[in-house]
């Protein structure tokens, strides 16, 4: 198994949010029709993060010839947070596994400056990285409570020696205090 960059050269550093190409080398002892390949990625806690296989994209190798071969897996966006992950591999014909290997590679995902802010995507923020953006609305729409036809009631509630004013909608089965 090789980790490659987009140009096909060996990739020494894998970044969160970046592309990744993994080349699997295999050897068949006979011709095998409809051979499927898969990669399983596990967190350092042993949690299955993803199973990526040719069956989900309907891309079986029609006929894997006797001898050596290789197949590339191209991941456009690796949305794992920085940290240590472990890879498992399998080759199968439908539900009959030809080979199943666990923990064949330890993968270190490094932080990236995905947003160009000088701050990396950090492992402390979870296991999965979602590209996102925040948008401040200049002319924000009114709060749904302000436009509702249901009239508001006000309720005074005392909690821990403080008095709070709660605005509640009148509804049947209301959870608001009365």
Q: Does the pTM of the predicted model rise above 0.75?
A: no
Domain shared by 66 and 112, yes or no:
yes
Whether residue 96 is predicted with pLDDT greater than 50 in this model: the reply is yes
Domain shared by 18 and 50, yes or no:
yes
What are the structure tokens assigned to 135, written together? 């948008």
Strands 14-15 and 96-110 come out as: parallel
134 in a structural domain: no
d(CA 150, CA 139): 24
E strands, 19-143, are 20-28, 32-43, 48-53, 61-64, 67-75, 83-93, 96-110
Which pLDDT tens digit goes with each residue over 29-85? 999 999 999 999 999 999 999 999 999 999 999 999 999 999 999 999 999 999 999
Q: Please check whether residue 16 is in contact with residue 111, taking contact to mean a CB–CB distance below 8 angstroms.
A: yes
63 in a structural domain: yes
Domain shared by 62 and 23, yes or no:
yes
Q: What is the pLDDT of residue 12?
A: 83
pLDDT band at 161 (very low <50, low <70, confident <90, very high): low
d(CA 54, CA 39): 9
Q: Which domain holds residue 159?
A: 143-178
79 in a structural domain: yes
Strand partners of residue 74: 21
The structural domain count of the chain equals 2
The rounded mean pLDDT for the chain is: 84
88 in a structural domain: yes
135 in a structural domain: no
Alpha-carbon dihedral angle through residues 141, 147, 152, 157, given to the nearest 10 degrees? -10
């Amino acid at each position: 198994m090789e980790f490659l960059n987009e140009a096909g050269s060996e990739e020494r550093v894998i970044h969160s949010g970046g592309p990744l190409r993994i080349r699997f080398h295999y050897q068949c002892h006979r011709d095998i029709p409809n051979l499927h390949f898969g990669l399983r990625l596990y967190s350092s806690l042993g949690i299955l993060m993803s199973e990526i296989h040719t069956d989900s994209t309907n891309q079986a190798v029609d006929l894997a010839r006797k001898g050596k071969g290789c197949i590339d897996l191209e991941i456009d966006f690796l949305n794992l947070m920085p940290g240590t992950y472990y890879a498992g591999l399998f080759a199968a014909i439908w539900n009959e596994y030809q080979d199943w290997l666990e923990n064949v590679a330890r993968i270190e995902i490094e932080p990236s400056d995905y947003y160009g802010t000088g701050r990396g995507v950090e492992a402390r923020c979870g296991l999965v990285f979602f590209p996102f953006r925040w948008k401040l609305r200049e002319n924000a729409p009114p709060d749904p409570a302000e436009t509702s036809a249901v009239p508001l009631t006000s309720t005074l509630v005392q909690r821990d020696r403080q008095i709070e004013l709660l605005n509640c909608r009148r509804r049947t089965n209301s959870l608001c205090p009365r």
